[in-house]
C-alpha cells in the first residue's frame, strides 16, 4: 500500500483579483523594446531577437577545382562578412589570370564557417522573433537583452490541459450552465476576436469557431478522442477540468460569468513536465488593492478544494475533517485524505492526491 504523506497541497488559481506577474522572455539574446514602468497591451511587442537563418554548404574544392589544402588562400571573404546572392567567396585565377573561377554565395547572409576539407558554410538571413506582452499591464522589471516582467492586477483562472499559443480578445459566455455545451449555432460573425466559454464542444463547434475566427475557447472538458483535432486549431483552447464529460467548476463559472464582456488573455500552452506550465485565462481588473496573498502551508480544515479525479471530478467543497490514518476506497486501496463538504452539502471522502486547493 502506498501511503503518500503529502503535506504540500497542489493548488489551482480561480482567483477574482490578485497581483499577477508574467515573464516575457526571448529564448536567445535580442533587444528589449519597452521601458521599465511602461504600460503595455497584450499585443505590444516587448522584445525582439533574430533567429539564425538556415545554413547552406558550398564545396569550394569542387567549384574551384582545387584540393582542400589550396582553398584557404583563395578565399576572398572572411568569417563573419556579409554576403549577397552572387558575392564571390573564393576565386581562382587560371591561365596567367586570364580566366577566373569564382565560388559565389548562393544566398544573402553571412560567411559562417570554413573547414580543412574545403567546405564553406553560409548562414542565410536571420528571421525576426518577437515576443508580446500577452497581458495588459505595466512593465515591472526589465531583463536586458532578454525581456521583461509584466505586472497587473486581475483575475486568474488556470486550466489543466490546452493547445495552441496565446491570444487576446473579449470574453464571451454563451452558456447558462456549467455543463452546457457550446453549440456551433452560438458562434457567428459577432464571435470574431472573442474568447468563448462553454462546458464542452463538438467537432462542429470547433469548425464554426475556426471559420468565424474566434480568439480562443475556454471549455470545461473534452472527449480525449478530439485532442488531435483541437491541437491543430488556429487558436488556443484551455480545458479547466480535463477529459470526459465534466462541467466547469462552480467558482470558475461564476467568475467567468461575472467577467463576461471584459478583455482577456488566453494561453493554451501546456507543458506537463520539465518546466510545468498550465493553460490560463487572465483578465486585467483595476482596483485599488487586491487582497493580501494567503500563505500556503499544509492542508487544514476550512480549505476550499477542487476535486480532480473520479468519482467527484470538477466539484468544489470545503475540508471539514482530516483523515490521516486513511480510508479504504472503492478501488480497494487505503488512502489518507479528508472529508469534504461539497457545495451540494454532501460529505465525501477524497484522498489528498485527488485534490487541489483553491486559491
Q: Is 54 in the site for other proteins (CB under 8 A)?
A: yes
Binding window for other proteins (CB under 8 A); candidates: 82-90, 204-212, 222-230, 250-258: 222-230
Residue of 223, 254, 258, 318 that binds other proteins (CB under 8 A): 223
Residue of 160, 237, 248, 281 that binds other proteins (CB under 8 A): 160
Q: The cell 493554451 sits on which residue?
A: 268
Q: Is 6 in the site for other proteins (CB under 8 A)?
A: yes
Min. distance of Cβ 55 from other proteins in angstroms? Answer: 5
- Which residues contact residue 153 at a Cβ distance below 8 angstroms, ignoring those fewer than 6 apart? 17, 18, 19, 20, 284, 285, 286, 287, 290
Residue whose CB is less far from other proteins, 9 or 169: 9
Residue whose CB is less far from other proteins, 263 or 303: 303
Min. distance of Cβ 326 from other proteins in angstroms? Answer: 11
Min. distance of Cβ 17 from other proteins in angstroms? Answer: 20
C-alpha cell belonging to residue 111: 560567411
Min. distance of Cβ 141 from other proteins in angstroms? Answer: 18
Residue of 18, 25, 38, 52 that binds other proteins (CB under 8 A): 52
Exposed (0-12), middle (13-18) or buried (19+): which is 252, by Cβ within 10 Å? Answer: buried
b (16+ CB within 10 A) / e for 271-301: eeeeeeebbbbbbbeeeeeeeeeeeeeebee
Min. distance of Cβ 39 from other proteins in angstroms? Answer: 27
Please count the other Cβ atoms lying within 10 Å of the Cβ belonging to residue 255. 20
Of residues 82 through 101, those in contact with other proteins by CB under 8 A are none
Min. distance of Cβ 188 from other proteins in angstroms? Answer: 30
Binding mask 292-331 for other proteins (x = CB under 8 A): ----------------xxxx-x---------------xxx
Q: Is 229 in the site for other proteins (CB under 8 A)?
A: no
- The span from the CA of 5 to the CA of 225, in Å, is 35
DSSP states along 222-262: E-GGGHHHHHTSSS-EEEEEEESS-PPPHHHHHHHHHTTTS
Of residues 338 through 357, those in contact with other proteins by CB under 8 A are 350-351, 353-354
Min. distance of Cβ 225 from other proteins in angstroms? Answer: 6
Min. distance of Cβ 1 from other proteins in angstroms? Answer: 6
> In three state form, how does the secondary structure of 27-85 look?
CCCCEECCCCCCEECCCCEEEEEEECCCEEEEEHHHHHCCCHHHHHHHECCCCCCEECC
Q: 87-91: which pairs have CB atoms within 8 A and are 24 or more residues apart?
A: 89/58, 89/60, 89/120, 89/122, 90/60, 90/63, 90/64, 90/120, 91/64
Residue of 76, 94, 117, 141 that binds other proteins (CB under 8 A): 117
Interface with other proteins (CB under 8 A), residue total: 55
Q: Is 225 in the site for other proteins (CB under 8 A)?
A: yes
Q: Do 35 and 71 form a contact (C-beta atoms < 8 A)?
A: no
Residue of 192, 212, 334, 341 that binds other proteins (CB under 8 A): 334
Q: The cell 477542487 sits on which residue?
A: 306
Q: Do 134 and 24 form a contact (C-beta atoms < 8 A)?
A: yes
Summarize as ranges the residues that interact with other proteins (CB under 8 A). 1-2, 4-8, 10, 52, 54-59, 62, 112-113, 115-117, 119, 121, 123, 160-161, 223-225, 227, 242-244, 272-277, 308-311, 313, 329-335, 350-351, 353-354
Amino acid at each position: 500500500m502506498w501511503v503518500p504523506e503529502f503535506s504540500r497541497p497542489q493548488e489551482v488559481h480561480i482567483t477574482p483579483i490578485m497581483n499577477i506577474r508574467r515573464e516575457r522572455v526571448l529564448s536567445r539574446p535580442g533587444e528589449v523594446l519597452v521601458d521599465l514602468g511602461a504600460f503595455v497591451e497584450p499585443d505590444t511587442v516587448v522584445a525582439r531577437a533574430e533567429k539564425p537563418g538556415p545554413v547552406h554548404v558550398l564545396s569550394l574544392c569542387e567549384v574551384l577545382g582545387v584540393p582542400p589544402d589550396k582553398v584557404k588562400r583563395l578565399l576572398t571573404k572572411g568569417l563573419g562578412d556579409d554576403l549577397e546572392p552572387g558575392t564571390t567567396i573564393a576565386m581562382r585565377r587560371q591561365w596567367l589570370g586570364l580566366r577566373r573561377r569564382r565560388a559565389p554565395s548562393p544566398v544573402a547572409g553571412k560567411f559562417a564557417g570554413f573547414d580543412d576539407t574545403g567546405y564553406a558554410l553560409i548562414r542565410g538571413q536571420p528571421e525576426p522573433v518577437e515576443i508580446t506582452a500577452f497581458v495588459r499591464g505595466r512593465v515591472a522589471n526589465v531583463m536586458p537583452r532578454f525581456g521583461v516582467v509584466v505586472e497587473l492586477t486581475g483575475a486568474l483562472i488556470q486550466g489543466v490541459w490546452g493547445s495552441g499559443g496565446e491570444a487576446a480578445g473579449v470574453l464571451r459566455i454563451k452558456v447558462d450552465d456549467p455543463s452546457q455545451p457550446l453549440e456551433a449555432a452560438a458562434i457567428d460573425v459577432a464571435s470574431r476576436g472573442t474568447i468563448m466559454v462553454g462546458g464542452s464542444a463538438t467537432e462542429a463547434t470547433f469548425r464554426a469557431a475556426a471559420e468565424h475566427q474566434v480568439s480562443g475557447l475556454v471549455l470545461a472538458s473534452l472527449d480525449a478522442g478530439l485532442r488531435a483535432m483541437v491541437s491543430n486549431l488556429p487558436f488556443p483552447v484551455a480545458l479547466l477540468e480535463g477529459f470526459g464529460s465534466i462541467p466547469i467548476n462552480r467558482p470558475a463559472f461564476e467568475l467567468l460569468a461575472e467577467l463576461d464582456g471584459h478583455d482577456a488573455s488566453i494561453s493554451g500552452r501546456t507543458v506537463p513536465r520539465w518546466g510545468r506550465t498550465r493553460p490560463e485565462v487572465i483578465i486585467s481588473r483595476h482596483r485599488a488593492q487586491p487582497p493580501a496573498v494567503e500563505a500556503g502551508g499544509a492542508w487544514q480544515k476550512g480549505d476550499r478544494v477542487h476535486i480532480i479525479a473520479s468519482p467527484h471530478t470538477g466539484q468544489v467543497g470545503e475540508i471539514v475533517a482530516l483523515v490521516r490514518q486513511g480510508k479504504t476506497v472503492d478501488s480497494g486501496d487505503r488512502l489518507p485524505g479528508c472529508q469534504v463538504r461539497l457545495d451540494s452539502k454532501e460529505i465525501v471522502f477524497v484522498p489528498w492526491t485527488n485534490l487541489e486547493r483553491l486559491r
